[in-house]
Structure 1
Amino acid sequence: MIAIAPSSVRVGCRVISDGDENHLLPEEARSIPSRQPLMRRASGAARWIAHRLLTELGVNDVAILRTPSGAPAWPEGITGSFAHDDDMAVAAVAPVGHIRSLGIDVEPAQPLPDDIFALVATRADQTAAADRHLAGRILFCAKEAVYKAAYPLDREVLGYEDITVDLNAGAATTKTGRKASLAYCVALRVVVLAFVDGDAR
């Protein structure tokens, strides 16, 4: 998965395992309102990855709290994102500079159900470059990742119809004019990374 990221971005993944909720730092545990074991386990797995990636950047023992919007609060000078499905957690971090903001999403590598595809896709989206069986799933992941990258910059709540994705060009644009680059990989999971360049609007 590292191959999909720009050189300044660190990414990682982890199979969610029993006991991963214990990786939450005390402050993190208090900031997550859900008491459901599966949700806390997934949050612990994602933060475990993020802590290891932050250590590579020289940032140690920093709690990644959940904000009221649900987004994680990253240390000053760092942008990042994490996500999980039922079985896998992923995270990405980078120093703020060449990259202003990141978003990442993960989904099973399975076709997207038609009813969900109808909610996600617009006529402006371009998906011809993707595997036709998984194009809908990649598109879904891409829009989720773009939203995560754009929200910290614009504080704008976006629907799927507010994000136009061109998988052929590896790019996306929001209704606010925010532009993001995209990279993705497909194996047992679909993982999409969205990133806003430092010199982009």
Structure 2
Amino acid sequence: MSEMAPMGVRVGCRMIRQGDEAHLLPAEARSIAARQPAMRQASGAGRWIAHRLLAELGVDDVAVLRTPSGAPAWPDGITGSLAHDDEMAVAAVAPVGDIRTLGIDVEPALPLPDDIFALVATPADRTNPADRDLAGRILFSAKEAVYKAVYPLDGEVLGYEDITVDLNTGRATTKTGHRARFVYCAAPRVAVLAFVDGEAR
């Protein structure tokens, strides 16, 4: 994923471990309402990655708070995204400039159940030549990542039917008129990094 990411975007991952909740800064811990240990561990793992990526940009000791919408609040001049599944956390950050916003998602490398695929896919989506077994999962993850990338632009809540994805070209559009690009990998997990560049609506 790091090799496929646009220039200037830093990406990291970490297997979630017992005790990762200790990586939450005090203000971060207070901003996360979830009390379940697994959720707090995942949040701590994601922020552990984010803190290190931010340090590479010269931004140290900044709390990445959870906003009321659930999205992380990034320092001024920085865009970023966090995600996790049951076992892995991922994060991406970049200076705002050529990249306006980022969205990232991670999922197990397993076929998407048919009932969920029916909710996610639309006739306008294009999945070939993506891995046939994982095409649905990649599509699902792409829509999640694109939503995270475009939500900060106007605060519009979008459903899966509101995002059209072309896995062939790595491009997506939303019903609100935003255009995003994305890259993905399918092993050892499905991970998608979506971004809106400085010139896209």
With the length of structure 1 as denominator, give the TM-score of the two structures: 0.99
Counterpart amino acid of 2:20?
A: D
Q: How many residues of Structure 1 are paired with residues of Structure 2 in the alignment?
A: 201
Q: What does 1:7-18 align with in structure 2 at a 5 Å threshold?
A: 7-18=7-18
Maintained 8 Å contact 1:31/1:67: yes
Residue correspondence of structure 1 range 82-161 to structure 2 within 5 A: 82-161=82-161
- Percent same amino acid at aligned positions? 79
Residue number in structure 1 paired with 2:46: 46
| Deviation readout 1:165-188 (Å, 9 max, x if unpaired) | 001111000000100001001112
Residue 67 of structure 1 is matched in structure 2 by: 67
| Runs of 4+ with >2 A deviation | none
Question: Aligned to 2:183, what secondary structure does the other structure show?
Answer: strand
Task: Give 2:68's aligned amino acid.
Answer: P
Unaligned runs of 5+ in 2: none
* Corresponding residue for residue 33 of structure 2: 33
SS for the counterpart of 2:3 is: helix
Give, in angstroms, the shift of residue 3 of structure 1: 1.3
Q: Which residue of 1 aligns with 2:180?
A: 180
1:24 aligns with 2:17: no
Residue 57 (structure 2) aligns with: 57
Structure 1: gaps (5+ residues)? none
Rounded Cα–Cα distance in structure 1 between residues aligned with 2:129 and 2:6: 20
Number of the residue aligned with 2:171: 171
- Which whole-Å CA distance do the structure 2 matches of 1:7 and 1:97 have between them? 11
> Post-superposition shift, 1:154?
1.5
* 1:162 aligned residue: 162
Amino acid of the structure 1 residue aligned with 2:122: T
Q: Quick check: 1:4–1:185 contact (8 Å CA) kept in 2?
A: no
SS in 2 for 1:38: helix
**Separation in structure 2 between the aligned mates of residue 179 and residue 154 of structure 1, nearest angstrom:** 13
User: Any idea what the Cα deviations from partners look like across 1:77-121, whole Å, max 9, x if unmatched?
Assistant: 000001000000000000000000000000000000000000000
Give CA deviations for 1:28-87 in whole Å, capped at 9, x if unaligned: 000000100000000000000000000000000000000000000000000000100000
Q: Which residue of 1 aligns with 2:76?
A: 76
The one-letter amino acid paired with 2:170 is: G
Alpha-carbon separation, structure 1, partners of 2:129 and 2:21: 38
Partners in 2 of 1:170 and 1:75 — Cα distance?
28
> C-alpha separation between the residues in 2 aligned to 1:148 and 1:6?
17
TM value normalised by structure 2: 0.99
Aligned-pair Cα RMSD in Å: 0.5
- 1:152, distance to aligned residue in structure 2 (A): 0.3
CA contact (8 A) 1:146 1:180 kept: yes
Q: Is it true that 1:192 corresponds to 2:195 in the alignment?
A: no
Q: Which amino acid aligns with 1:155?
A: G
Residue 4 of structure 1 deviates from its aligned partner by: 2.1
